[in-house]
Amino acid sequence: MLGTMTQRSEPVSQAIYYANGGVKMRGSLLDGEMHGSWEWYRTDGTVMRTWQSDRGRQIGVWRTFARLGRLVKETNFTPSQ
């Protein structure tokens, strides 16, 4: 009897759009959950936030930017060792 083979999931690129057609968020999903690098944009197209997720779990440093690109906040979701 052959053993059951499990198929490995691969991240799938995802983009969510505003009603005006501009990109709202862009990143990847793995098994339906945010996974890897993501960016969230304002309606004018400027980057508002960047972050990392591991199967929907917040990881790494999340950064929030002012409209003109200045870094205004960093939140570290990396557990201390």
Q: Whose CA is closest to 24, among 44, 46, 40?
A: 40
Other CB atoms within a 10 A radius of the CB of residue 28 amount to 16
Q: What is this structure's pTM?
A: 0.81
Q: Which domains does the chain have, with CATH numbers?
A: 12-75 (2.20.110.10)
Q: Whose CA is closest to 47, among 68, 75, 16, 33?
A: 68
Q: pLDDT tens-digit profile of 25-75?
A: 999 999 999 999 999 999 999 999 999 999 999 999 999 999 999 999 999
Structure tokens at 68: 């003109």
Instruction: Output the pLDDT for position 5.
Output: 52
Q: Whose CA is closest to 41, among 60, 64, 59?
A: 64
Helix (H) or strand (E) holding 12: strand 12-17
